[in-house]
Amino acid sequence: MRVADLESLGLNRGTIAYRCRPGGPWQSVAPGVVALHNGALTRADRLAASLLLGGPGSVVTGLDALWAAGLRRCPQPSGPVHLLGPPDRRRTGYGLLIVERTDRLPPAVGPVPCAPVVRAVLDWSRRSRDRNAVRAALAEVVQRGRCTPAELVAELEQGCGRGSALPRSVLREVGDGVRSVAEARAREVLLSSPVLRGALWNPRLLDAGGRFVAMPDVWFDDVGMAWEIDSYEWHLSPADYERTLARRSAMAAHGIVVVHGTPNRLGRDPAGVREELERIHAQCRLRPRPALRVEPAPTGGVLLGRDSG
């Protein structure tokens, strides 16, 4: 609570200071704000104190807002709370919060006033230097339907340009249909090969009668070859694993060559992965391409052969 609010309830400053003494039942969190307990401050305590310091109309953004929205592939919040506030308001964070003044103050959502997901993820991404963490966060918000790549691009264009290079680069990957950190690493491998650049991410494969066959991670349409990246992240239950096996069996039944890869090997031996894919791709050219029709991914299904910036 704010000290001013406690005083309005009839407590004088001497009593408040006494209760916040070392070993007392309360503790001072920041000048003018106290916690009504003497235990370790939780993240919820820090959020509440930050909002009191930020003042009316303040909005939580960044990692705290993403976790409040149920997103878990971004890092767990730690350190100062990131707040957005009106442009005419000056606040000192005392190490507890970062106050970003903005004339684009978004409407608050949720019981804790938080920025919408599209704003929160980009506010954090602009401050991050961890490319894989930004990849994971941006891919998750798109994959879970919390916003579209077009909405992310629009928000990025409207916001501050400082720190936008990393999220802008990652959004090019998301626009190609990439939906995980492992797939982003795979994209780098494919872009390094003139033979493999024409791949599609997460397209829908249909048989000659228009019936759905599968949606592989990566599809090489010129030779009818699929590349599946086996990440435990996507096999969190027996049902998930069974669906993966059924998808691969369906592709094999239609004459598709399915190549398997793992995120660990992608990080450890990207050159070896590329060479193996090129050899299998060459072998696939020796047989007729399966009679399949391809629908690009909803995110755009952009060919990897485009200029990647």
**What is the rounded end-to-end Cα distance, in angstroms, of the chain?**
50
On the question of pLDDT at 57 being above 60, the answer is yes
- Look-up: residue for tokens 């000192």? 92
Compute the average pLDDT of residues 84-112.
90
Within 102-202, strands assigned E span 200-201
Q: How confident is the model at residue 240 (pLDDT cuts 50, 70, 90)?
A: low
Q: Which parts of 56-162 are beta strand (E)?
A: 59-60, 81-85, 97-101
pLDDT 10s digits, 106-144: 999 999 999 999 999 999 999 999 998 999 899 889 888
Please determine, for residue 298, whether its predicted confidence score (pLDDT) is greater than 90. Answer: no
Q: Rounded distance, CA 69 to CA 120, Å?
A: 10
Q: Evaluate the CA torsion angle 111, 112, 116, 118 in order and state its sign.
A: negative
Q: For residue 29, what pLDDT is reported? A: 95
Return the CATH number of 181-295, one of 1.10.10.10, 3.40.960.10, 3.40.605.10, 3.40.50.2300. 3.40.960.10
More confident residue, 297 or 106: 106
How would residue 91 be classed by pLDDT, with cut points 50, 70 and 90?
A: confident
Neighbours of 232 (CB within 10 A): 10
Residue 304 has pLDDT above 70, yes or no: no
Nearest to residue 189, comparing CAs of 80, 283, 308?
308
Whole-model pTM above 0.85? no
Residues 293-300 have a mean pLDDT of: 74
Chain mean pLDDT for the chain: 88
- Of 142, 294, 101, nearest to 93 by C-alpha is 101
Mean pLDDT of 49-77: 95
CA distance 143 to 178: 9
**Residue 204 to residue 293: CA distance in whole angstroms:** 8
CA nearest neighbour of 26 among 45, 47, 44: 45
Whether 7 contacts 17, CB under 8 Å: no
Domain locations in the chain? 1-40, 56-175, 181-295
Given a cut of 80, whether residue 175 has pLDDT beyond it is: no
Residue 229 CA to residue 45 CA, distance in Å, equals: 41
Read off the pLDDT of residues 142-173 as tens digits, 9 standing for 90 and up: 888 899 888 999 999 998 889 999 999 998 87
Q: Indicate the range of 13-17, 188-192, 228-232 predicted with least confidence.
A: 228-232
Q: Return the minimum-mean-pLDDT range out of 52-56, 169-173, 294-298.
A: 294-298
Q: Which of 62, 51, 77 is nearest to 119 (CA)?
A: 62
Burial 240-277 (b: 16+ CB within 10 A, else e): eeeeeeebbeebeeeebbbbebebeebeeeeeebbeeb
